[in-house]
Amino acid sequence: MECPILNWLHDISYLFGGAFLANAVPHFVSGMMGRAFQSPFAKPPGQGLSSSTINVLWGFANFVFAYLLIACVGNFNFHAADQVIAAGAGVLLMGIFSARHFGRFHGGNSPAHS
């Protein structure tokens, strides 16, 4: 019998793993496209632009963190709803945060005009 507290802690790990996974995508893709993008290493952090190379490296680091938090904690099972929901919630929350944060710089926060 598994300890419920460990399952809860695993789900928290999967939540953060999903967030790192979502954060990896825009950095890695922007970098691969040769585009500068905001990163924690820019001045000011999270607002200034970092080079495409920095973004590829930061995106890759986020993929590694996501892997460590999802694949190396507990036994992640795609058939276990709580685990998939936890990782998916991390992806969704980071996605919404990123859309709102980066939308300020790229015009994504203005409502569509009809």
pLDDT for 108 = 66
pTM, two decimal places: 0.85
pLDDT for 7 = 82
The per-residue pLDDT of the chain, averaged, comes to 89
pLDDT surpasses 50 at 111: yes
Torsions phi, psi for 38 (to 5 deg): -60, 145
| CA 92 to the chain's CA centroid | 9
pLDDT surpasses 80 at 6: no
Per-state percent for the chain, helix, strand, coil, to nearest 5: 65, 5, 30
Residue 49: name the closest of 68, 27, 65, 32 by CA.
Answer: 27
User: How does pLDDT run across 54-98, given as a tens digit for each residue?
Assistant: 999 999 999 999 999 999 999 999 999 999 999 999 999 999 999
pLDDT surpasses 50 at 113: no
User: How does pLDDT run across 17-52, given as a tens digit for each residue?
Assistant: 999 999 999 999 999 999 999 999 999 888 899 999
pLDDT surpasses 80 at 109: no
